[in-house]
Amino acid sequence: MNQSFFQEAARLNNEGVTALAEGDEETSIKRLTTTVKMMKQFIALPDQAEALASSSDESSSCLRSFSTVEIAHAACDEQVFFRQAILMPSDIDESSPLDVFVYSAAVIFNLALVHHIQGSKNKSARSKAQKLYAAIMRLLGDRVGHMQLSLLLKLACINNMAHIRYENGEFDQVQDGLGQLSTLLKTTDQCLFKGAEIQMLLMNVLFFKKPDIAPAA
């Protein structure tokens, strides 16, 4: 494992999360974008990415090696979407079970979250967030069963995309999240669903439904 690479990526990601928590969205985007580019270059090295992915399969099925920071924002405090930014562990050593794809997805999620928060007043920013959430789902693919972070990220993306579609009045597309949720429930190690954040996200996804009367245009 490239220990120095992950330590630098963790530093930049966590600086981006701290900036977001402090309301400095511009700095947050810069730090997170830099981290995403680093991860993208690393994934382009087949030997590195493959080695990390295979080593993570040997980890405990219920491993939790991450923490979250709730992002408060006056414009969206009452909104039902997942606003927990992901902090990467900084005390990484050679024995740490890591999956570069999952950690990349975490950084992209943080970047999507910045745009999602900006989207409370800017539809273009919501569109950027939605594209990033969709990219995370593609990046993770079937990488869920052994890592709670993978499950959390997938549920968070399903939830947050449903929120954006709901805000955009795309009520029929909101139901897509229920199908994705059903698939996760059937294919994921059940012990991973024990976390408080996971339970909250399960409830949130079920919350989104087409209103009886659509709001006036």
Each residue's pLDDT tens digit, 152-205: 888 889 888 988 888 888 877 777 777 777 777 776 666 666 666 666 666 666
> Per mean pLDDT, which range of 24-28, 113-117, 153-157, 211-215 is the poorest?
211-215
Burial of 86 (0-12, 13-18, 19+ CB in 10 A): buried
Burial of 136 (0-12, 13-18, 19+ CB in 10 A): buried
Above 90 in pLDDT, residue 36?
A: yes
- Which DSSP helix (H) or strand (E) runs through 47? helix 46-56
Residue 17's pLDDT band (cuts 50, 70, 90): very high
At residue 45, the pLDDT reads 72
Please list, residue by residue across 165-183, b when 16 or more beta carbons sit within 10 angstroms of its beta carbon and e when fewer do. bbbeeeeeebeebeebbee
At residue 57, the pLDDT reads 47
Above 70 in pLDDT, residue 149?
A: yes
At residue 190, the pLDDT reads 65
Percent of the chain beyond pLDDT 90? 29
Which residue's entry shows tokens 């959430």? 133
At residue 27, the pLDDT reads 97
For 84, phi then psi, to 5°, come to: -100, 105
Number of alpha carbons in the 13 Å side-chain half-sphere of residue 42: 26
At residue 152, the pLDDT reads 83
pLDDT per position as a tens digit, 95-113: 555 678 888 999 999 999 9
Residue 22's pLDDT band (cuts 50, 70, 90): very high
Predicted model pTM: 0.81
Average pLDDT, the chain: 77
For 69, phi then psi, to 5°, come to: -130, 120
Nearest to 40, CA basis, from 139, 109, 110 = 139
At residue 62, the pLDDT reads 42
Highest mean pLDDT among 51-60, 92-101, 119-128, 132-141: 132-141
